[in-house]
Structure 1
Amino acid sequence: MSALASLYPQPLWQWFAEICAIPHPSKHEQALSQHIQQWAKSRQLNIVEDHVGNLIIKKPATPGMENCKTVVLQAHLDMVPQKNADKMHDFTKDPIDAYIDGDWVKARGTTLGADNGIGMASALAVLGSTDIKHGPIEVLLTVDEEAGMTGAFGVQPGMLEAEILINTDSEQEGEIYMGCAGGVDAEFSIKAQWQNVPANSQAFQLNIAGLKGGHSGVNIHLGRGNANKLLARFLADNAAKLGLHIASFTGGSLRNAIPREANVVLTVANDKAELLQQQLADYQQLVQLELAAVEPAINFSLTSIAAPTKVLQADVQQRLINLLNVCPNGVMRMSDEVAGVTETSLNVGVISTSDSSIQVLCLIRSLIDSGREQVQGMLSSLAQLAGAEVKFSGAYPGWKPNPDSAVMAIVNQTYQDIYHKEPVVMVIHAGLECGLFKKPYPDMDMVSIGPTIRYPHGPDEMVNIKTVGQYWQLLLAVLERIPAKA
């Protein structure tokens, strides 16, 4: 971590090193929250923890800027806990093993947490500074952004005094975000009914691994393989003709991450075991050919295991396979208004099997409510056809762009003055918290900026060191240009 703390800007990277050292996956942010609270109190900063666990920290203006509009610097406390299958790591106990690799900071075998640890570190660095010019500052650090936006939903009117909010959760230097997608969780459930394992059969675990995964919004348009869908496709083609019997289907770990790994426990008649291996080898060759440009490391494996105690009844198994094979996944529609941006998408994120049911958790995202509602309707129809139940929960609104935003104009002009080129003003296909903040603070002027982060929500996550410095310079220059109160 000491190597990170030597990077520019040093105060930001020092904080990021501390953040990496304290476990903080979604719903387990308490240790990091306590560390920040103790630090803020030692600096005589006004800090409050609200009823859901959000932190609000306030710092007075530097001399001469007392009349400037108050600004909220906003980030989230939690990180996505994803790791490679061969990595021994407990996100609730173990620190992130971050390291410098050329122009990038990465983590060994796990997500890095640059999403949104860099943004959080920048806000804390501003709070701790003595030489940065700024008006009154409020820092809002929310909980559970990655697993349900609990913190953003919990923000109440009157907690904040600011007129301007700068969200630090964007992931591309040179782009300024003025809008984002909303979303809703969709959970299918098929009632499990079981039968005895057929006689004269062998048991195997069928695995898929080596996929890139990534953010189910930012990376959804890249055409990466979805482990759940790829296994479902194989089963749809081979389960009936090979007489396969499924004991369990498990895949993915988060509804907002493209699943990189999945596995099925199954049985097959002794005289069909060799044919199963051949069919899988042929399928792997086919998929490797189809996805060669985006998934060069994809790998299927078939491992002999002890026989399960039971397998799904044939009709339940067929309904599950049909549902997974037919369920839409990926980009549903590209935006007509913002070139190159996904408008509506669906991620078949997590599959789990219990004694009572098989559950499939998806995340629908859309820039427009009608797009989200259309996909909800599609999934409702699919559930009826497959004899499944589907429930929708956790809906959150998108952030509607405001082309007349004053803070957007300030950030845009400041970027041009520093770097002598125009930034790209964008809408992002991800669930920034700004849309939720608009309910308690409808008049708050908002913008989102950040450094370049690649492959968030997966173990390949990395942040570009140079762009962290550029983001920091932009943030400080914007704070210095915040206008006086009306």
Structure 2
Amino acid sequence: MNAHLEALTPSLVWRHFRTLCNTPRPSGHEAALVAALEAWADAQGFTHDRDAFGNLRLRKPATPGCEAAPGVILQGHLDMVAQANSGHAHDFTRDPISTYVADGWLHADGTTLGADNGLGVAAILAVLEDPDLRHGPLEALFTLEEETSMGGALNLADDWLEGSLLLNLDSEDRGEVYIGCAGGADVEVDAQLPSSAVNDHEQVIDIALTGLKGGHSGMDIHQPRGNANRLLVRVLRSLEAFDARLISYHGGTLRNAIPREAFAQVALPADEVDAALTTIVALETRLLNELGSGDSGLKIAAQRLTEVPETEPLRLDASAMLVAALHAAPCGVERMSADVPGVVETSNNLGVLSLEKGRLHLCALVRSLHDSAVEAMADRFQALFGLIGARVKVENSYPGWAPNPDSALLATFKARHAALLGHEPDVKVIHAGLECGILGSKYPHLDMISFGPLIRGAHSPDERVELASVEEFWSMLRALIEDLATQR
């Protein structure tokens, strides 16, 4: 499958990316890909090993004469975000990703593409295979479960890596190089809320909010896009005037993807249904006006159900209390950085929200350039949802990556970028959870940068990569490695 990829240039990179597309690899299901890469490494004559968590390392000795060059670690994560359009049947644990080219971009058919971080991984494999590349000692580090928990980086073995320079290939902007990133933490909220049976005078309506763009909860959080959970909660809030009681709710699928869709069922007095449906139609118009061209695909569909669900709705007081807490919860950009213009400092994404048989579950992802701000935001969730008796846990915390503008590796990259492309790159700090912060905390001697090709729509089925940027990325990566091979 995806044979057309091998006709693209650079052929070495795209051939490896084809393997990644054809090998299912959602977070937590990377074993088949790890086995394939180990078999490939054996065929190439490269040594390989894994740490206790399962992170994979491949090694290639220096080109003769370059043994004294600093060791370079090429790093990427093997897993991908598993998102499919509503109605598009796809089993990410079994089915390959189907790709196509349109207008100079590579897309996937109805699913995430996996260019994040598949193209970085493919480029690393291409570097190892390239027979003409002059290089110092190389290590390829492939981590696991980056998209769900940063588990691979958080559990990386100590005293395992040997290199002193690290190239993280998980960035998504052409002509830019990243030297810092946000840290973050997952906030998990759980509660069992009281319910009571549907009354004889009540009727149930089903509400579906769809059509939003979604996107990456870090890099796209400042974009004028809607969060399906935030918006459907507003709909539910408007229905409290009709004594609506929440029965079920399902919104979002990943804590690091801005939710594109959310669905709810509510019970309310039968004589209020017509007025409630009219309110929903009017609110759809208002929300579309608020979102403007930033997210113009919003649709809210509501309909009566002829059969009463088996699940009881929440009691009226519990339903109002829950909706109020969700309405008050932080969502989106909290603060812009005062020190790095144009960069988000602190944000939160209401990523996954569900209510089933009275059981509430919320998973939010807090990010900040300051670890103390992550702790403060998480504490706000604990304070807010503690008021409704929920249990709140903060998990999978990971540190940010403090910028080092005086990095020698950065200076080499800037000089090579200027010589190769005619201008220096923009030096950036990213509001996303690159693994560099975690790796740097475990290996503080590392000099690190992050760069990559132009990817848009990551973490959504709109994910795509610009073909020309992949060629530029590959040229820059090869040239940089050859420059580093001359250093001592």
TM class, shorter-length: over 0.9
Separation of aligned partners in 2, 1:68 and 1:330: 44
2:137 corresponds in structure 1 to 136
Once the two structures are TM-superposed, the CA of residue 206 in structure 1 deviates from its matched residue by 0.4
Runs of 4+ in 1 over 6 A off after TM superposition: none
Once the two structures are TM-superposed, the CA of residue 201 in structure 1 deviates from its matched residue by 2.5
Which aligned pairs between 1:268-307 and structure 2 lie closer than 5 A?
268-305=268-305, 306-307=307-308
Q: 3-state DSSP class of the match of 1:293?
A: helix
Separation of aligned partners in 2, 1:248 and 1:410: 55
Q: Is contact 2:243-2:316 (8 Å) kept?
A: no
Once the two structures are TM-superposed, the CA of residue 439 in structure 1 deviates from its matched residue by 2.3
Is 1:126 the equivalent of 2:127? yes
Which aligned pairs between 1:101-116 and structure 2 lie closer than 5 A?
101-116=102-117
1:9 corresponds in structure 2 to 10
Q: Is contact 2:248-2:357 (8 Å) kept?
A: no
Q: Deviations 1:129-168 (Å, cap 9, x if unpaired)?
A: 2111111110000000000011101212221110000000
1:482 corresponds in structure 2 to 484
Q: Is contact 2:238-2:279 (8 Å) kept?
A: no
Q: CA RMSD in A?
A: 1.2
Separation of aligned partners in 2, 1:14 and 1:440: 33
Separation of aligned partners in 2, 1:85 and 1:452: 26
Q: 3-state DSSP class of the match of 1:267?
A: strand
1:162 corresponds in structure 2 to 163
Separation of aligned partners in 2, 1:79 and 1:392: 23
Q: Is contact 1:208-1:227 (8 Å) kept?
A: yes
1:324 corresponds in structure 2 to 326
Which aligned pairs between 1:75-94 and structure 2 lie closer than 5 A?
75-94=76-95
Point out where structure 2 has 5 or more consecutive residues left out of the alignment.
none
Q: Deviations 1:150-196 (Å, cap 9, x if unpaired)?
A: 11012122211100000000000101000000001111223221101
1:384 corresponds in structure 2 to 386
Once the two structures are TM-superposed, the CA of residue 485 in structure 1 deviates from its matched residue by 6.6
Over the matched positions of the two proteins, sequence identity in percent amounts to 42
Separation of aligned partners in 2, 1:449 and 1:155: 22
Q: Deviations 1:391-447 (Å, cap 9, x if unpaired)?
A: 111110001111221111111111001111121000000000011111221101100
Worse overlay, 452-461 or 61-70: 61-70
2:433 corresponds in structure 1 to 431
Worse overlay, 29-38 or 189-198: 189-198
Q: Which amino acid aligns with 2:474?
A: W
Q: 3-state DSSP class of the match of 1:116?
A: helix
Q: Which amino acid aligns with 1:150?
A: G
Q: Which amino acid aligns with 1:25?
A: P
Q: Is contact 1:69-1:484 (8 Å) kept?
A: no
Separation of aligned partners in 2, 1:379 and 1:401: 29
1:201 corresponds in structure 2 to 202
**Which of 340, 357, 363 matches 1:355?**
357
Q: Is contact 1:8-1:469 (8 Å) kept?
A: yes
Q: Which amino acid aligns with 1:214?
A: G
Q: Is contact 1:12-1:122 (8 Å) kept?
A: yes
Separation of aligned partners in 2, 1:44 and 1:418: 32
Q: Is contact 2:52-2:157 (8 Å) kept?
A: no
TM-score by length of 2: 0.97
Separation of aligned partners in 2, 1:383 and 1:133: 57
Q: 3-state DSSP class of the match of 1:41?
A: helix
Change over 3 Å in CA distance of 1:483–1:38 after alignment to 2: closer
Q: Which amino acid aligns with 1:253?
A: T
Q: Is contact 1:223-1:330 (8 Å) kept?
A: no
Separation of aligned partners in 2, 1:102 and 1:48: 41
Q: Deviations 1:193-218 (Å, cap 9, x if unpaired)?
A: 11011113322220100000000000
1:464 corresponds in structure 2 to 466
1:70 corresponds in structure 2 to 71
Point out where structure 1 has 5 or more consecutive residues left out of the alignment.
none
Q: Is contact 1:350-1:362 (8 Å) kept?
A: yes
Once the two structures are TM-superposed, the CA of residue 356 in structure 1 deviates from its matched residue by 5.5
1:220 corresponds in structure 2 to 221
Q: 3-state DSSP class of the match of 2:357?
A: coil
Q: Is contact 1:184-1:365 (8 Å) kept?
A: yes
Q: Which amino acid aligns with 1:313?
A: R
Worse overlay, 255-264 or 351-360: 351-360
Separation of aligned partners in 2, 1:264 and 1:107: 29
Separation of aligned partners in 2, 1:148 and 1:377: 20
Once the two structures are TM-superposed, the CA of residue 484 in structure 1 deviates from its matched residue by 5.5
Separation of aligned partners in 2, 1:340 and 1:181: 14
Q: Is contact 1:226-1:259 (8 Å) kept?
A: yes
1:40 corresponds in structure 2 to 41
Separation of aligned partners in 1, 2:485 and 2:37: 29
Once the two structures are TM-superposed, the CA of residue 44 in structure 1 deviates from its matched residue by 1.2
Q: Which amino acid aligns with 2:315?
A: Q
Q: Which amino acid aligns with 1:345?
A: S
Q: Is contact 2:245-2:314 (8 Å) kept?
A: yes
Q: Is contact 1:189-1:358 (8 Å) kept?
A: yes
TM-score by length of 1: 0.98
Q: Which amino acid aligns with 1:258?
A: I
1:346 corresponds in structure 2 to 348
Q: 3-state DSSP class of the match of 2:76?
A: strand
Q: 3-state DSSP class of the match of 1:159?
A: coil
Q: Is contact 2:249-2:356 (8 Å) kept?
A: no
2:30 corresponds in structure 1 to 29
